Homo-oligomer: A and B are copies of this chain.
Amino acid sequence: MSPRSTRWCPTPEQLMILQELYRRGLRNPNASQIQNITAHLSFYGKIQGKSVFYWFQNHKARDRQKLRKKLAKELHQQQLLQQHPHQPTPSAFHQYFNCYSTHRFYAQDKLDEWYKFIQGSGACGEALEGMVKQIRRRADDLPKDQCLIRSYGHDSMMIVDDVGPTFPCCRNRNLETLELFPLRSPTLKDQEATAV
């Protein structure tokens, strides 16, 4: 690890300003514009002109990329619908399972549901294979009666509940056992974050 980061770390204010400028349509600031913006932003924290330049480059690129992906996906969805109007499609599965990531808690029966869904989809692209593998991997090292897995997607979900009965041992414990919880000491990242 390098002792000092050489990389620009935008403050919330700086980010807000940049985003606002972008939102209003600024895409390719010229030299003097960059200078001006940099001057303003430096009020909120150390910053160089190149950072402003890079920020707009990156932001624009990623914006476009996102848009392209979205359109491609929609198009693909439509095509699939036309071809196999009543079968679960890979992209449907993708939407269902893999849109974006969040920590969620799912019970075993939800897992089974997913397997069925994958099977029913009749699809076996690489993406689905990977997903199946992931599910299996996760499921394998989970307890039988309740599981905690990482999952994705929009759908409403089954949550592991009633942990009580499954842990009779805890019933008689008192608060002292809390001492046993492995308390993570704040990481550097956390400290930075709270120090902002």
Contact = CB atoms under 8 A, between A and B. Distances in A.
Interface string A159-196: 11111101100110101011101111111101111111
A152 interface: no
Nearest to A63: B194
B183 A21 contact: yes
Interface in A77-111: 103-105
Interface residues of A, number: 73
A34 interface: yes
A146 B32 CA distance: 12
B195 A163 contact: no
A67 B42 CA distance: 22
Interface in A5-30: 12-13, 16-17, 20-21, 24-29
A127 interface: no
Copies of this protein in the assembly total 2
A166 B33 CA distance: 15
A181 B121 CA distance: 49
A49 interface: yes
Interface string A130-150: 000000000000000010100
A94 B188 CA distance: 36
Given A105-B50, A181-B36, A185-B25, A148 B31 contact: yes
Contacts of A146: 35
B183 A26 contact: yes
15 contacts: A12-B72, A20-B183, A21-B195, A25-B186, A26-B183, A26-B195, A33-B195, A37-B191, A39-B167, A40-B177, A40-B185, A47-B163, A49-B148, A64-B196, A68-B196
